[in-house]
Structure 1
Amino acid sequence: MAQELQPDMPGTPGTTGAPVTTGAPVTTGAPGTTGAPVTTGAPVTTGAPGTTGAPVTTGAPVPSVPPVTYPSRTVPPSPLQPGAGRDPYRLYRTLREEFPLTYDPLLRAWLLSRYADVAAALTDARFGHGHRPGDPPCATGHQDVDEAELRAVAARTAHVLARRLAGRTQVDLVAEFCHWLPAGTVAAAVGVPYRDMMRLVRGRAASALAGQCTAQIAVREKALASFLANVLDDPLRAAELREAPAGVVARAWTESLRRDPPVQVAMRRTTADVPVSGGTVPAGVAVALLIGAASRDPERFRDPGRYDPDRDDPGQLTYGTGPCPAVLLAGLEAEYALRALFDAMPRLTLAPGFRPEQTGLITRAPRTLLVRPGG
């Protein structure tokens, strides 16, 4: 089992086993022995150091031995190492390419980073408890929702918030829009005054009103912030989406969830041995599913670092594909956030000199999103 747990490695520095070729003459015999010493002038090939019984070849040239190649590094990087939060995607690339299965002592968990492994593990019962909104077990735990009512609630809440910001010179959309829209739509959907919902959210009691998935407000905040950042970062793209139909906005939303997932790491615990790329994950261990790494796997996505709503290989791992109010509501909030902001602020642009910067390791999103409502 110990060997199965290690990633496939072409070699480890310090090992022996390659033939060693020496070109110096070798003299056999020792001082004090009888008989004349025998001296040869031909190259001699010996076995690995420490072995006995290797044949000695004389009189013929010995073919050269190809050099042993080793991996570029011998210690896997950790998502928790200092500085990783500034650009985790370089680290993720190293893990995908060189260490698709490795144990991280800082996280105290095995790491999976390739898309095929992470996508399978998110719904594999052998990876134990935990699920995303929209996963199969989730679909059976929710009451039916009125999509038209949710759509009306999301639209109304987004437009109220956007109109409050329209007259400002400069606005931070993260603090003054993204932070409030998800909580506001939940409050309106369940008939609770907005100020009371914010108190309940701070008190971790929102799930009692809105259900476990719908109450994941912080995740929707981060996803919305990344979506608006991706749209506004390109003025041409923003102009295209300003009047785009719902289906086009939905593709842009899905692509943002793919490129910049709000949840970068999902933790699971195995209930059985599971074969994956690079080895086998043992039963009964913690596993960190690196959604951020899988979402930019070039084996699955063409040019994975580019935000491209029109890509022909779409997909995202933040949400499952089953019916869930949280998944529906998050998409509606993204759609009506764009419509409300552009309606209230037709010349909306990023503030001069500002570029969105993603931060975070376990969850990730822009901390600020400075815009000029008047362009």
Structure 2
Amino acid sequence: MAPTTPMADGEAGVLLRAGLASPAPGRGRAESGPAAGSPAGAGGPAGPAGPVASGTRTVAPSPLDPGASRDPHRIHRTLRERFPLTYDPLLRAWVLSRYADVATALTDSRFTHGHRPGDPPCVRAHVDVDVAALRSVTERTAYVLARRIAERPQADLVADFCHWLPAGTVAAAVGVPYRDMMRLVRGRAAGALAGECGGQIAVREKALASFLGNVLSDPDQVAALRDAPVGLVARAWAESLRRDPPVQIAVRRTSAEVPVGGGVVPAGASVALLVGSAGRDPERFREPDRFDPLRDDPGQLTYGGGFCPAVVLAGLEAEYALRALFTAMPRLRLADGFRPVWAGLITRSPRSLIVRPGG
């Protein structure tokens, strides 16, 4: 049966280019290849929210199952608890879902083919970036965009703000005229600033939308962050990346056998890392579903810890987004009856943030 919530074209393309998804329209599970739970160890017994029986064996749910776009967390919970390492025929990859395993796979050299902004390759590649200049253009771009929507009775921050701030910041940083921004910034302009990482503008858009959605959904967070120092805003930004990472699934390939919590990943295997699941692992975080900028157990996996202009820009965009929006619209709030809805399989964020700029 076809998924009731299909992947967006861009998300499907990510997996197809990585060789992890089948182009066939069908959704049935292949019977060839490793069975779910082997050699990762057997899964637990089937339950109402967990794996389903397939013949005489128990099959783990897939991160691409119907309904996963709207609610992946039930599937992630089942995978963490019962199938910490499992082969997914639909993804054609081994799946890791626990924080400890995903964090290891993102940094262990035995997992190859890809890196996050802020990982060691960035540290070696980016050396001539003027952070003060990036701060200046980010601030200026955020305030221009905020003032443009301040007088409206209603606005969508995703379409009217989040979609433009990351692109506008890069455009301003490399001197692309505003009128040419969206045409050029996603190509050579972004690459001129930060190479491959600078081109991840769509990821920063989604991360920013999730950040604003998390803050505006809680009046207490709005009050706490309205005039907050930079340090608290940075903690709120990192907390949003943990709870609602813009990239839910990262792809790697093993160059050798790697022991993980659920067994051993074979050499030469494609591995799907469920970053979204890892960020809500109760073995790592207390009350993992709660957005808490003051938590004492932080740990986002979207970005590495090294220097990268894309990581710097993302943090600056979050900081100045809040400052510009609250300065231009002191009474900014979500529209009556509106609550953000996160959606997406490979990348994930609110599709809209309907606000009343005047309160």
**Same fold, TM-score > 0.5, yes or no:** yes
Tell me what 2:85 maps to.
Answer: 101
Residue 224, structure 1, aligned to residue 208, structure 2: yes
Structure 1 runs, 4 residues or longer, greater than 4 Å off? 2-5, 10-13
Which of 356, 359, 362 is 2:340 aligned to? 356
Residue 178, structure 1, aligned to residue 162, structure 2: yes
TM-score, normalization: structure 1? 0.81
- The verdict on how the C-alpha distance between 1:12 and 1:331 changes in structure 2, with shifts beyond 3 A counting, is closer
Cα RMSD after superposing both structures? 1.8
Aligned 8 A contact 2:137 2:173 in 1: yes
User: 1 or 2, which has the higher helix percentage?
Assistant: 2
Distance 1:247 1:10 in 2: 43
TM-score, normalization: structure 2? 0.85
| Displacement of 1:102 | 0.4
Which of structures 1 and 2 has the bigger CA Rg?
Answer: 1
Deviation per CA, 1:138-172, whole angstroms, max 9, x where unpaired?
21011322221111111000000000001000000
Aligned 8 A contact 1:265 1:363 in 2: yes
Distance 2:166 2:42 in 1: 46
- The verdict on how the C-alpha distance between 1:348 and 1:126 changes in structure 2, with shifts beyond 3 A counting, is same
Aligned 8 A contact 1:358 1:364 in 2: yes
Tell me what 2:224 maps to.
Answer: 240
Residue 313, structure 1, aligned to residue 292, structure 2: no
Distance 2:103 2:115 in 1: 12
Tell me what 2:41 maps to.
Answer: 8
Distance 2:51 2:122 in 1: 42
Percent identity between the two aligned chains = 73
Distance 1:188 1:350 in 2: 29
Distance 1:363 1:296 in 2: 16
Consecutive unaligned residues of structure 2, counting only runs of 5 or more, are 1-33, 53-57
- The verdict on how the C-alpha distance between 1:322 and 1:11 changes in structure 2, with shifts beyond 3 A counting, is closer
Tell me what 1:209 maps to.
Answer: 192
Q: SS state of the match for residue 289, structure 1? A: strand
Matching of residues 73-112 of structure 1 within 5 Å: 73=52, 74-112=58-96
Letter in 2 for 1:208: G
Q: SS state of the match for residue 355, structure 2? A: strand
Consecutive unaligned residues of structure 1, counting only runs of 5 or more, are 14-70
Which of 113, 123, 143 is 2:97 aligned to? 113
Tell me what 1:340 maps to.
Answer: 324
Tell me what 1:155 maps to.
Answer: 139
Matching of residues 273-352 of structure 1 within 5 Å: 273-352=257-336
Distance 1:234 1:335 in 2: 18
